[in-house]
Every structure is written in C-alpha cells, then in structure tokens.
Structure 1
C-alpha cells in the first residue's frame, strides 16, 4: 500500500504515560520504526516534543482517550500537524492489544493516510466551550437544588407551590426567609404577597399552614444560600461568555432568527461548532457530525435500525431544546405543524 507520509508518529496516551511510535527513513532510505515511552508530566511532554522534532516528524496521531489526550494535544499543536481520532474507528486485531501495538497500528494507519481526524476547535472556541458547558452544569445544579427545596417544603406540608407560580420569586423568597427566621404565622406570611397573588390570600393562608420546624429552617436556609451562589456564578459566566462572543455578534443575531433558538442556545451552538462553517460542505454534513440525523444500518436488503449515533451531547441537548421550543411556542412554522 502506498505510503503518503515520510515522517510520522502515533501516540498511545494514558493517564500516567505516553507510548510513542515513529516511522522515519533511516540513512539508507529505508523505513525505520522508533519507539519510546514518556510520562505525562509537563517536563516529560516537552521531552516528547523535542524527541519528535529531532526525528523531523511532521504528522502526529493520537486517540481521544478520556481527557488525557488534551494536555498532550495542546502542547504539540503548534509544532506538528495533529490528528485526533476516534478510538472506535481504529480498532486493532483482537487479542493483540498492548500499548506498543496500539501505537504501531495507529502509526501505520497514519502513514498510509487511512485516518480521519476529529474536529478540535481553536483555543478561543475551546475556552468558550468550557465556559458554556460549565454554565449549563450550574443551571442543572440550580434546578436540582430547587427540586430539593420543593421536596423539603412538601415534607413540612408547606404547599406554597400549589398557589404561587414561582416559589423562588420575590414574594416566595420573602415568605421562605420569614419561615427560616421562625416566624411561621400563616396570616402574617400571606400578607407578604404582592399584586395579583393577593387575590389568592385565603388559599395562601391554608398553603402556609404546616409543620415547618427548626430542622426544616436549617435545610431551607442552606438550599437558598446555595441557589443564590449558583445564580451569581451563572451571571458571572454569562457576562464572560457575552464578552468573548462580542466579535461574533452578527452571527449570533442570525442564529437567533431561527425559530426556537434563544440567545443562550445560540451561544452554545457557537461554542460547540465554532464560527467557521467551511469545514462542513453543507447542512447535511453538519447534521451528520452532530449525530442528530437518522442512522443507517442495513443488511440483506433489510433496514435494521435508524437510531442516531452518540454525538456532542452538549450540542444535541441545545438543539433538542430549541426544537421543542419551536414546536410548542411558535406559530406558522414547520415544527409547530408537526
């Protein structure tokens, strides 16, 4: 088989060590295989970089192993043409799996041009991804804390959620603060209701009559403090994300014109896909990369399954939320008609 690369290397990356295999021509012009092992501390990775440079390597391949590939990739990306590959696409012969064999096999595939690189966005987009993903994690954690609060109120038989639309709104928080201070008179608590909620004063008095003890007060105060902290953290992250996306304001505006795509969803889409769409020939390739198009498994003329592949879960979540929003909250659109 034709060899497309003269000097290439492959890395088998683990938590504590990296096994490197390089294919380079020797003094007689014949292919030589060199192997070495390095630890994953920064000085050792710098030694790996120098070793590859000394051999004149131009292309380096590695598998996407958990998160362990990241420091290796980031340290080498300025000096070599890197290919991050999906491990499931480069399986070796069963029963012959060792670190050295994996590196050798990967290097051979790279040498013959048989590897397909995964998309690794540039550094600014990677940092933006970290911010949007962490913000989403905090949003989920806030929702979990709100659910815990509701369960605790049910335990104390405080039925505030049955009367008020938002337990964590301004009036709900005021009532919960009074309960935590030990003031649990239903009449006085109901008087804290503002505006339209005052129309429900009789029901509110009944809902606030419960068995709220000092034990509940301790837990509710902790939950409210944590929710406040999460709100502050989410706001700080949102401000930083907005600042980093300022150069892409126009593209964000275009994204929000899509039915169901709100500002935060547009930010997630930008962080997961990047700003350069030229790497996708058309929208079908993009849908395939995101793994939101039907799968294709057919044998003997029979279609077995059409389930989607596992793709970028963060992007998938954002797109599904946008589709559900468009289907339920927009009018005269294709999704709403379905």
Structure 2
C-alpha cells in the first residue's frame, strides 16, 4: 500500500462533542476540526448564554473543558443548567504535542480528544457539599489570618518589652487577652496587669508581673491596639461562619429521614481544639451525616478531620469511588509506579495536596504521637523505624483513607483488625494456620504428634 494513502483512524465515541479552551477574558469553542467550526465568546453572562445557544444550534450534547483556575465555574454552571453533559478534565491530560500553542489549537485538540473518548472527568462534589466546602474553606482562611494577626500582636508586645509570651502559653487565651486589653487602655502597672491572671494559668501573679515592665513606646502601643482590633473582628467573622456551617449541616440532615434517626453518645475523650466550631456537636452531626458510621472511633481522628471529610468530599462523593484504592489514589496517597521492561523505574507518591489529604496527614501524625499502643500507632512506628517519619505519615494517611472508604461505602465498623499487626506476628499466625492444615490433612492424632516430637 502506498504510504501517502495510509491513514490511522480511531472510533468516534462522542459524535456531537465540543471542546472549550477556558480563559480569563474569552473562551474559544470548537465543535469540529474545520476553521468554520471555531468561535470566540466573551466571559460575561450574556456571552455564556450565546455560547450555550450556539452549541445547542449545532446539536452538541457533550462538552469538554479544562479546570483552569476558577474561570470554568460560571461557564460550567450555565452549560449544566441547559442540559449539556460537561467533562471537566485535568489540564495535564489535554497537553498538546510539542510545537506551536494557540487558543485555537487548544480548543480543537480538546474537541478531538473528547470526540474519540480519551478524556475522563474530574471529581466534582454535589451542590450541598460544594456550599459546605465554600464555608469551611473561607473559615480556614479566616483562621490563617487570625494566626497571622496573633503573631503580629506577639511581635509588638516583644518590642514593648512585654514578654507575655514567656509566662503565658497562648497570648490570645483568657489571661493573655485580658492583660492585652488592659495594656491597650493605658494600664502600665505590672502588678495590676498580673492581677488579671485567670485561675487556670500555671504561672503565679509574681512571675507574670516580672514580664510586664514596658518601655512605653507609643508607636508600638498604637500598632498593638490595631492588631487587637483586627483579631477581634476576625474572631467575630469566624463565629458568623460557624453559624452558617451549622445551618447548612442541619439542612442536609433534616431533609433526609435516614440521617435524622441516628444518635450517638458524646465522646469526652476527644479533645476539642480551640479552632474547632464551639456551637456544633460534630460528633452527633458526623454520625448522622454518614448515616450511622462512627468515624470518630478511629484513633487520631479529630473533629477538624471529620469536618474536612464532610466538606471536601461528602457522603455521596466517597461513594463515587469504586474501590478504596481509587479513593486513596485521588488523594495522591498511593505510589505512582512507573514500570518499563518489567522493572520498576519509580514508585514515588505524586506531588500535590488538597485539604483532605492534609487533614489525613495531620491525623496520621497525631496517631504517631500516641503514647498507648494501638494497631495504627504500631503500624506507624514500624514504618517510621524502616523509612522515617515522613514515609510513616504518608503510609498511615493512606491506611486511614482505606479505612474511611470501607466504613462509609461497605458500612464496616472500625475495629482492630489483624491486618495491622506487626509483620512477624502475621507470619507467626500464618505458620500456625499452615501447620493446622497439615495436621487436618493427614489426620494426625496426639499420639502421632508425640512420636514425631520424640
């Protein structure tokens, strides 16, 4: 056959497919590979409606586009609202071959890949989870801003020669804030300031008074007052955000009778962090949200970890993953094995983190710090001894993701399974089982065994 007439063809999976190159100022849309099949649209609401109408005029049923920043979200909502099937894919799966790169070539390449079925959709939570995620991420940003403000408060106290951070563990605690408010109002007497000490404070009034001799700088005092006001504003915003989170969680539970029927006793042994929402019973709400699955039974699992799981993935989101391996792989907690010629070239964990992965790693680190022996803690220590703490945190976080998937999807309650025992214990148990099988196979009696041992 002549080489000029040879063609490589692939089966068209989506005959009425479009590809969109999402941008900050305009969107390029391709419904085919001809120059007349490409059109540019703006980013305003009327432009998005025109884009959707143009697609529907050409009988397009499915659309593929990259998840570029946050520019795709408005377009995605309009397309889905008009009944189009949207495949939101990762940008690394739509990279064009080496050469010239333009917006026109990009949208055509996305359309070609989507039409022959080579693009897979990224994970997207449902609307309730997405709204909860918005509130929780905003709350997390507020906590970061409050922490930054607290560091500035500590800096100006140090410049004023007020070493409150030496005698008080948390300058924004009950004792610290009482003293700082008095300082901002003009109080300079160390004894009077120390008398504001809370009864829970470990240091005595005399020890606190020694650290509160100021140098009287007015500029530093003004800056400290400004930071204190900013800290209190942020705390009020966090409280308002907590009320919204409580409202949406109660809304999700109240509209599902299966969730409302579950109840559980409080766990007094679980420590409540100062950044945990105070007005929400996360132990009960989490038990109801996951329909009778007690994730707080896992050691090292905190209320913040539970809230991250509900807001980042949600109950229906976890069920979208067919296996526990897929769930942990999506979290980028499993090694990405690269094999060529039967040889493993690399088995590193992929780069990148989302908020749920960070929460699980924090839970794994807390498990490693446990003093009492538990199966997960023993697993952590074994990996830590062999490969170091960083690898132990990653391995335990992956183990947690597998446990969570099995508890939520398969409704398996958490217990101390034998899979988490030390390797030598597992080998011993396997050896005993093999010996028992041999005894049953040959029908050996106690007399036969005595003859063998003698």
Once the two structures are superposed, residues 14-43 of structure 1 have per-residue CA deviations (whole angstroms, 9 ceiling, x without a partner) of 01111111149xxxxxx9972211111110
Q: Are 1:18 and 2:27 matched, yes or no? A: yes
Q: Are 1:188 and 2:198 matched, yes or no? A: no
Partner SS for 1:61: strand
Partner of 1:116: 120
Partner of 1:287: 328
CA distance in 1, matches of 2:371, 2:18: 52
Which of 14, 21, 34 lines up with 1:5 in the alignment? Answer: 14
Which of 274, 277, 295 lines up with 2:314 in the alignment? Answer: 274
Once the two structures are superposed, residues 249-273 of structure 1 have per-residue CA deviations (whole angstroms, 9 ceiling, x without a partner) of 3235633232222223212111111
Q: 1:122 to 1:43 in 2, by over 3 A?
A: same
Partner of 1:85: 89
Q: Give TM-score, length-normalised by structure 1.
A: 0.91
Which of 302, 306, 315 lines up with 2:348 in the alignment? Answer: 306
CA distance in 1, matches of 2:339, 2:122: 25
Partner of 1:27: none
Partner SS for 1:195: coil
Partner of 1:262: 302
Contact kept, 8 Å, 1:260 with 1:330, in 2: the verdict is no
Q: Are 1:44 and 2:47 matched, yes or no? A: yes
Once the two structures are superposed, residues 106-145 of structure 1 have per-residue CA deviations (whole angstroms, 9 ceiling, x without a partner) of 1111111111111122222222111111111111111111
Q: Are 1:64 and 2:104 matched, yes or no? A: no
Once the two structures are TM-superposed, the CA of residue 242 in structure 1 deviates from its matched residue by: 2.1
Q: 1:97 to 1:49 in 2, by over 3 A?
A: same
Q: 1:176 to 1:288 in 2, by over 3 A?
A: same
Following superposition, which runs of at least 4 residues in structure 1 exceed 6 angstroms of deviation?
none
Stretches of structure 2 that go unaligned for 5 or more consecutive residues are: 1-9, 254-284, 382-454
Partner SS for 2:64: strand
Partner of 1:244: 248
Once the two structures are TM-superposed, the CA of residue 220 in structure 1 deviates from its matched residue by: 1.4
Once the two structures are TM-superposed, the CA of residue 326 in structure 1 deviates from its matched residue by: 2.8
Answer with 1 or 2: which has the greater Rg.
2
Q: How many residues align?
A: 331
- The structure with higher relative contact order (CA 8 Å, sep 6+) is 1
